Structures are given as structure tokens and as C-alpha cells.
């Protein structure tokens, strides 16, 4: 039984200047980023690199067309290293540029070419949630096939995951909060996954503790308090990524995909809408299993009686991201049924990581609970 793997080296620097002093970049590097980060931090260091801005190719989640247009612009530039600096979309896109003989994104995602890595990959996360800098997954929407596909292969793991706290300085509060809640959910879901073990649990628990500590502070002192804790949040998000890269995430993520995909709700915000309802359903179905330990652990961190845990957690998280009925996102009532069907049909990979099995009707009931 495979317990734990961690192939990426993890390095931390306070600033980009200190990072690039130790790890200089230049000719032969392909930098993939967004303009805001480039203008704020990168211009002194990227003179001889080829730089691609994801925003020039499209907005929102990565698509095959965006990746293909970027491949075209890379043209015959010879590069031996991909330097990815950004949030989840930038990182997902960058990962495929390390592949040997890549012609189109579709070929990579369908694995019709051999998935062989022939470039180094350095990832600098610029949000504090995806954990993508330490996972072997890239997800894209293949427009030509009208399907969202994931490529999960160790060939697209980062050689170095480089945590630069300065990268979060320009991140506005909402994406900060959404990504940090996503990280918390990675830690909580991976802790309960049947694939969890003592190695992954250490990372899940440490991430939960660090994230909640900052959240309690933000709830008391307001959004500006985040700036004193950027490094902790980046590390906590990375730890949660290590935990879920090994143990997986479950129903919260599975149920949020139809909402996020159809109504363009940010990933962390969409996840948050389901967190409490899914965990309450878990607690009802098997109150004396591992969730009992988790609930006690989190209640102790928040210094509340365990019976009040989810009310207290909701109160804290609601100060960071608005929780609203799904109908307020425009979701139609009949989609309570169709979303439940689509989760069963397409998300079995994630549902396998649930704490307890949830039937189609139980999933439907959770949608119903958070719809109105």
C-alpha cells in the first residue's frame, strides 16, 4: 500500500528578488504568469526569458484552445525549464509545457502522446489554496470535445515548489479568502479520506491548525490582518496540497464542480457552500468514526464545545466569504436532481474518497439543503 510520496523540493523565500538571486532565470527559461504579477515583481529578472501571459489567451479556467495558442507562440523557442508563477490556472497550463513532443493540449490530456517530461518545472504559487505546486494534476476544459479533463501523471510534478510570501501581497481579499478556504477544505477532506494515513494526517492537521489560526484573527481584526501572515498561509496551503495530493478530496469538491462550472462560482467559494452540509451528513451517518476525532480537534482549536463546532466555523468562514443559497447563484430548482445525477455519473474518482458512502439521493438532499 502506497502511503506517501513527495517528489518536489519545497523552498521558501521572502521576496522574488531573494528567490531569483539564488535561482537565477534567463535564456532557455519559459516564464508563464499573469501581467499583474509580472509588472509588480518580475520585470527586473526576466530579461532574456520568453514570457507568456495567460490573460492574453483567455479568461477563466484553462482550455485546450488557450494552451494551443500558447504552444504556437512558444514556436521554436528552445527552453529547458518552465517557470510558472500564478494561481491555479497558470499552474495547470504551465504543467503541460514540460512534456516532450507536445503538439496539442488535447494530445496531452487524452495521452495520445507518451507523457514524458523533458523540461524542469519550477512553480511559484501566487494564491494560497490550490496546492497545485505539489500535485501531479492539471485540469483543462477541452472545448473541441466539450469536456473537462484531468491529466494526472508524475511527469507534470514540479521539481521545485517555491513559496514566496511576497507573491500574495497583491492578491485581493476575495481571491485570498476563497483560496484559503479551499486549502482548509483540502485539509479537512483529505483527513477523512479512506486513503489518509498517519503521514497525510500530519499534514492535514497542521494545515487546519495554521489556517484556522489566521481565520480567527481575520474574523476579529478584519482583512488587513492577513498581510502579517502571508507566509504561514502559503505554507499551510502547501501542506494541505501535500495531504490531498496523497489522500484525495471527496464530496465537497465533487458537489461543487457543477455549481462552479455552470455558474462560474470561484472554486473555493463553491466548495464552501457545501462544506458544512456534507460534514453534517457525514456526522449523522457515522458519528463515531474518524470524524469524531476531527470534530474534537477542530472544536479544541476554536475553543468551542463540539456541539457548536459547525455553527462557530460557519460564523468565522462567513466573515471571509459570503455563504448564500444556491438559488442566489441562478441555479434552477430542477438542477438539484440533475446536479446529483451528474455528480454520480462523473465524480466517482472523488466520491471514492468520501468518509462514508453518500447515495445519489443523499447527495440530492444536500443540494436541496443548501439550495433555499
Stretch that binds Fe ion, among 7-15, 25-33, 181-189, 335-343 (CB under 5 A): 181-189
Stretch that binds Fe ion, among 11-19, 148-156, 163-171, 175-183 (CB under 5 A): 175-183
Nearer to Fe ion, 81 or 186 (CB): 186
* Strand pairing report for 147-152 and 137-142: antiparallel
Q: Which positions ≥6 away from 319 have C-beta within 8 Å? A: 218, 219
Q: Least distance (Å) from Fe ion to the CB of residue 206? A: 18
- CA pair distance 101, 89, nearest whole angstrom: 22
Nearer to Fe ion, 31 or 128 (CB): 128
Q: Least distance (Å) from Fe ion to the CB of residue 182? A: 4
Q: Least distance (Å) from Fe ion to the CB of residue 169? A: 23
Nearer to Fe ion, 92 or 182 (CB): 182
Q: Least distance (Å) from Fe ion to the CB of residue 122? A: 22
Q: Which positions ≥6 away from 135 have C-beta within 8 Å? A: 157, 241, 244, 245
132 to 171: interface string for Fe ion, x by CB under 5 A: ----------------------------------------
68 binds Fe ion (CB under 5 A): no
92 binds Fe ion (CB under 5 A): no
Q: What is the DSSP letter of 74?
A: H
Stretch that binds Fe ion, among 9-17, 179-187, 330-338, 360-368 (CB under 5 A): 179-187
Of 293, 262, 6, 272, nearest in space to 129 by CA:
272
CA distances from 180 to 110, 174, 321 (A): 31, 10, 10
**How is 277-313 classified by DSSP, letter by letter?**
HHHHHHHHH-TTSHHHHHHHHHHHHHTS-GGGHHHHH
Stretch that binds Fe ion, among 169-177, 178-186, 289-297, 308-316 (CB under 5 A): 178-186
Of 183, 199, 164, 249, nearest in space to 5 by CA:
199
Q: Least distance (Å) from Fe ion to the CB of residue 304? A: 26
Stretch that binds Fe ion, among 66-74, 113-121, 182-190, 274-282 (CB under 5 A): 182-190
Nearer to Fe ion, 104 or 193 (CB): 193
Of all residues in this chain, which one has the CB nearest to Fe ion in the complex? 182
182 binds Fe ion (CB under 5 A): yes
Q: Least distance (Å) from Fe ion to the CB of residue 196? A: 16
- CA pair distance 309, 313, nearest whole angstrom: 6
Q: Which positions ≥6 away from 186 have C-beta within 8 Å? A: 129, 131, 207, 240, 241, 243, 244, 249
269 binds Fe ion (CB under 5 A): no
CA distances from 57 to 43, 52, 95, 106 (A): 20, 9, 16, 16
Nearer to Fe ion, 166 or 266 (CB): 266
Q: Torsions phi, psi of 198, nearest 5?
A: -55, -35
Nearer to Fe ion, 61 or 182 (CB): 182
61 binds Fe ion (CB under 5 A): no
- Give the full edge-to-edge strand order of the sheet including 9-13: 9-13, 160-164, 120-125, 81-86, 29-33, 50-53
Stretch that binds Fe ion, among 174-182, 213-221, 285-293, 311-319 (CB under 5 A): 174-182
* Cα torsion 307, 312, 318, 320: sign: negative
The residues in 34-53 that bind Fe ion, with binding defined as CB under 5 A, are none
- CA pair distance 74, 31, nearest whole angstrom: 11
Nearer to Fe ion, 83 or 265 (CB): 265
For Fe ion (CB under 5 A), the number of binding residues is: 1
Stretch that binds Fe ion, among 42-50, 59-67, 87-95, 180-188 (CB under 5 A): 180-188
Paired with 83 in beta bridges are: 31, 122
- Residues in the site for Fe ion, rule: CB under 5 A? 182
Amino acid at each position: 500500500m502506497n502511503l506517501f510520496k513527495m517528489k518536489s523540493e519545497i523552498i521558501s523565500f521572502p521576496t522574488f528578488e531573494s528567490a531569483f538571486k539564488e535561482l537565477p532565470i534567463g535564456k532557455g527559461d519559459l516564464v508563464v504568469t499573469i501581467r499583474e504579477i509580472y509588472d509588480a515583481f518580475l520585470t527586473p529578472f526576466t530579461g532574456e526569458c520568453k514570457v507568456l501571459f495567460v490573460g492574453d489567451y483567455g479568461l477563466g479556467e484553462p482550455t485546450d484552445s488557450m494552451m494551443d495558442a500558447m504552444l504556437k507562440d512558444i514556436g521554436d523557442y528552445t527552453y529547458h525549464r518552465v517557470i510558472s508563477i500564478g494561481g491555479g490556472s497558470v499552474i495547470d497550463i504551465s504543467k503541460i509545457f514540460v512534456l516532450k513532443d507536445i503538439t496539442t493540449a488535447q494530445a496531452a490530456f487524452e495521452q495520445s502522446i507518451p507523457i514524458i517530461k523533458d523540461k524542469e518545472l519550477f512553480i511559484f504559487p501566487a494564491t494560497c489554496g490550490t496546492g497545485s505546486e505539489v500535485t501531479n494534476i492539471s485540469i483543462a476544459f477541452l472545448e473541441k470535445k466539450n469536456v473537462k479533463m484531468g491529466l494526472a501523471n508524475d511527469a507534470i510534478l514540479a521539481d521545485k515548489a517555491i513559496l514566496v510570501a511576497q507573491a500574495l501581497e497583491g492578491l485581493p481579499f476575495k481571491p485570498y479568502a476563497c483560496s484559503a478556504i479551499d486549502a482548509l477544505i483540502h485539509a479537512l477532506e483529505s483527513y477523512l479520506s479512506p486513503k489518509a494515513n498517519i503521514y497525510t494526517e500530519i499534514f492535514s492537521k497542521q494545515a487546519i491548525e495554521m489556517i484556522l489560526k489566521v481565520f480567527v484573527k481575520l474574523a476579529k481584526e478584519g482583512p488587513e490582518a492577513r498581510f502579517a501572515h502571508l507566509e504561514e498561509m502559503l505554507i499551510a496551503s502547501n501542506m494541505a496540497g501535500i495531504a490531498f495530493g496523497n489522500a484525495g478530496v471527496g464530496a465537497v469538491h465533487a458537489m461543487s464542480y457543477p455549481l462552479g462550472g455552470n455558474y462560474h462560482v470561484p472554486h473555493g467559494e463553491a466548495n464552501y457552500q457545501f462544506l458544512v452540509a456534507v460534514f453534517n451528513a457525514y456526522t449523522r451517518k457515522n458519528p463515531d468514526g474518524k470524524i469524531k476525532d476531527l470534530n474534537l480537534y477542530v472544536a479544541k482549536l476554536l475553543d468551542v464545545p463540539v456541539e457548536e463546532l459547525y455553527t462557530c466555523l460557519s460564523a468565522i468562514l462567513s466573515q471571509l466569504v459570503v455563504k448564500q443559497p444556491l438559488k442566489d447563484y441562478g441555479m434552477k430548482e430542477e438542477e438539484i436532481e440533475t446536479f446529483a445525477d451528474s455528480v454520480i455519473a462523473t465524480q466517482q474518482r472523488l466520491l471514492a474518497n468520501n468518509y462514508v458512502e453518500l447515495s445519489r439521493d443523499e447527495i440530492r438532499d444536500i443540494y436541496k439543503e443548501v439550495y433555499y
